[in-house]
Structure formats: structure tokens, C-alpha cells
Amino acid sequence: MESLLVYPSAKVSISNPSFTSGRTILSGNRHFGPRDLSNSIRMSSGFFPLRCTNSPDNKEISSVAAAIYEYHTDELINAEEVREWESGKSINDIYAKQGITIRRSCRPAPPAGGGMIPRNILEQIIWDKEVEVTQFKQRIPLKEVDRMIEDASPTRDFLAALKDSYLRTGLPALIAEVKKASPSRGILRENFDPVEIAHTYEKNGAACLSILTDEKYFQGSFENLDKVRKAGIKCPLLCKEFIIDLWQIYYARAKGADAVLLIAGVLPDIDIKYMLKTCRELGLTALIEVHNERELDRVLKIKGVQLIGINNRNLENFVVDISNTQKLLENRIEVIQGKDITVVGESGLFAPDDVKFVHDSGVKAVLVGESLIKQEDPGLAIRGLFGKDISK
């Protein structure tokens, strides 16, 4: 074998005999093995393929390598990002070339020279997430998450639930968000019972629910996701998380998610592609979030994308403008419909006119948090938002 791709976040144990499929490249111990290989795992965080040019000669390693090699499609192996990486470009330069302004700090092992200062809140959130995920992975290694998945109940079809609801009501399907707080708005609801809110949303016509799991900035938790899932809720659930590592996708599945959010402003194309593949294997729907034209155009080029969210909130400065949905869809709606992609209008929706506005722009679903969760009765709030009862 001439070359293989290794994900830097991979934790591979060469003496682990369970290396039979590509999935397991993410389990095991910290180091891959001999120096030539471990040298290629330079970043402790981040998610990026590296090509190791030395042929592994150890028999065990060869089988690992074969597993990894098999798992990558030509599309990933030949990705432009890989070539750029090989020619010595830094991960953040490669991100920037795709218009991604959010950098990776690669903490907790910062690059030499370190000392980076976050430029905005989203960057801060991502850097904190790098540390958090590393700790989570140490506490609950992927092998254990895999076991948890074996015991989890089957996933529900998130996308089909949105489509069914749209066909039934003729109005954008509602993804109602279970959200206690946000960095821009502070605490949204004092007496916050996620299960009770979820039941109310479901009873009042939500097609799907979105459960915030970020603790530090949104006061959410995977616990909440788990609780809602086990409370007899039928609506499919979106795990609302800042995903930067495959581990989080597996964990979301283990905790009852039916869908995960992938933010194009944070993830380069190669990560989105790889994560989409993982989602498909786990039976999860991926909601790919974009905020500007460049991100949308990037995502429209990726094969297999079925669900795109247009966030009206700029996560770097919190400015909300619902005309963003219209602006982005204006010249692209035919392409989107041609590919049978469903678009979700996200954030800043408060009144029937807002829903009508994004519907007229071409969305078939909406993602709503604040305007529902802030009201005494979030169920009544749904009627207020649509101007009618959408539960029948």
C-alpha cells in the first residue's frame, strides 16, 4: 500500500484486534503506532485527513491501514484539501480558501507559537468545543459509544416527517426548538422542563424537535436529548450541537438523535462529505446550515445533501435578518428544487407574516426557538406563529 489517510482525531490502537471495518479507526488508544505514522497525527483536535506516505510494514498496521484505506472513497482521497495539506498549507489557510472565517485553535495542544485570540463568539465556541470533545472522548471512548448505539432504538426519519407535515398542512413544517438560553439573548425561559416543553410542542403540531445540547453557551445537554427521547415523544429529534468531530455524531445517535446539525461556516467540504457518509451509516439525517451565498454554493456542490438550513442569524455577530433566506434562495431555488433538497428557514421568526415571507422564498420548513420558548404556553405560541392550529 502506497498511502493511506488518517484522521487526526482518530485514536487508533495497533494492537486492537477489532480492526475490521473503517468505523473502528476512531476507537482505541491515542497513538497510531510507529513514528512515521504518529508523526502524521499532528493535530490533537480538528478533523482532517492526512496522507501518510510511508508504507506500513508491520502486519498489524497493514490491516489497520487497509481498513482505513477502504473506508475512504476516491472523492475523499483525491480531495483538494488533501493535496493542499500535502503541499504544506496550514489547516486554517485551507479553511480560509473555502471562505471559512472560523479558525481552529487545535487546542488543547496549540500549534507552536500559539496564543491565538478568538475573533468572535462562534470562534470562541468552537475552540471551547475542541477542548470539550477531547475530554468527552477520554471519558467515553468511541468503542463505548458504539456499544451504546447497539442498545439504542432505531432512528426516525427526520426528513420524511418534515415532508409529510408540509404536504398535510401546506405550511412550512415546524422544527420547534427546546432552548433554555443563548449567548445573544441570555436566559429565554426560567422554569425550563425540556420534556414538558417537548410534549407541548408535539401536541400542538411540531413535525420535529430541535434539542440544544451545548452546555456552556446554551445551557443545554445530551441529558436533555436522552430524556426527551425516552419520554415517549414521537417527533424525530435534531441534536443541536457544534459538531467538529465524528465522535459527536456517534454520541448524538447514542443519545437518541435522529438528525444532526452540520455548520458549513465551521466545516470544510471534506468534513461535510465525510460526516454525511457517517450520518447515512447511522441512519441520521444531516441538516447542513449555511448563512451566506458562498456557503450555500459550496453545499449545493456536495453530493447527497438533502436538507439545508438557512440561518438568518449571523453566528459571528448575532445580527438577525430574515430577508437572508430570500436573498440566498432568489437565484437558486430552481437548482435546489431540481436536486429535491428541502430548505429550512432558521432563526428570527416571530409572526405569521415572517413564516409566510420565508415560505414565499421557497422554504418548506422552519426552525423556531425564541418566539415559542419565551411564551408562557409554547403550544399556544405555535398557533400564534402560524396564525392557526397546525396540529390537525
Ligand X SMILES: O=P(O)(O)OC[C@@H](O)[C@@H](O)c1c[nH]c2ccccc12
CA atoms of 70 and 79, how far apart (whole Å): 16
Active-site option among 11, 129, 179, 277: 179
CB of 343 to ligand X, least distance (A): 13
* Residue 36: strand pairing partners: none
301 is catalytic: no
Active-site option among 311, 324, 361, 371: 311
Active-site option among 130, 202, 241, 289: 289
CB 53 within 8 A of CB 12: no
Comparison of 64 and 228: residue with beta carbon closer to ligand X: 228
CA atoms of 165 and 344, how far apart (whole Å): 13
Please identify which residue in 81, 226, 346, 354 interacts with ligand X, judged by CB under 6 A.
346
Distance of CA 139 to the CA centre of its chain: 21
Amino acid found at 390: I
| Cβ-based neighbours of 43, under 8 Å, separated by 6 or more | 8, 9, 91, 104, 106, 109
How much of the chain is helix, strand and coil, in % rounded to 5? 40, 15, 45
Phi, psi of 267 (to 5 degrees): -110, 130
Active-site option among 227, 240, 255, 277: 240
3 is catalytic: no
CB of 376 to ligand X, least distance (A): 17
CB 210 within 8 A of CB 369: yes
Comparison of 369 and 378: residue with beta carbon closer to ligand X: 369
Comparison of 12 and 373: residue with beta carbon closer to ligand X: 373
What is residue 334's three-state secondary structure? helix
Please identify which residue in 40, 342, 347, 361 interacts with ligand X, judged by CB under 6 A.
347
Set of cell numbers at residue 197: 416543553
Name the closest residue to ligand X (Cβ). 369
Strands annotated E in 30-70: 50-52
CB of 373 to ligand X, least distance (A): 7
347 is catalytic: yes
150 is catalytic: no
CB of 113 to ligand X, least distance (A): 30
Comparison of 81 and 202: residue with beta carbon closer to ligand X: 202
Active-site option among 40, 346, 364, 370: 346
Binding mask 279-308 for ligand X (x = CB under 6 A): ----------x-------------------
CB of 346 to ligand X, least distance (A): 4
Among 39-47, 277-285, 325-333, 341-349, the segment contacting ligand X (CB under 6 A) = 341-349
CB of 78 to ligand X, least distance (A): 31
CA atoms of 296 and 217, how far apart (whole Å): 26
Comparison of 119 and 147: residue with beta carbon closer to ligand X: 119
CB of 263 to ligand X, least distance (A): 6
Amino acid found at 156: R
179 is catalytic: yes
Task: Report if residue 177 touches ligand X, rule: CB under 6 A.
Answer: yes
Comparison of 49 and 265: residue with beta carbon closer to ligand X: 265
CB 134 within 8 A of CB 244: no
Which helix (H) or strand (E) is 70 found in, with range? helix 59-71
- Three-class HEC string of 291-317: CCHHHHHHHHCCCCCCEEEEECECCCC
CB 290 within 8 A of CB 311: yes
Active-site option among 27, 92, 165, 347: 347
Comparison of 12 and 211: residue with beta carbon closer to ligand X: 211
Half-sphere exposure of residue 4: CA atoms within 13 angstroms, side-chain side: 27
Touching ligand X, residues 210-249 (CB under 6 A): 240
240 is catalytic: yes
Touching ligand X, residues 351-390 (CB under 6 A): 367-371
Of 132, 105, 121, 135, residue with least CA distance to 43? 105
Residues labelled catalytic: 177, 179, 240, 289, 311, 346-347
Which chain residues interact with ligand X by CB under 6 A? 177, 179, 240, 289, 311, 346-349, 367-371
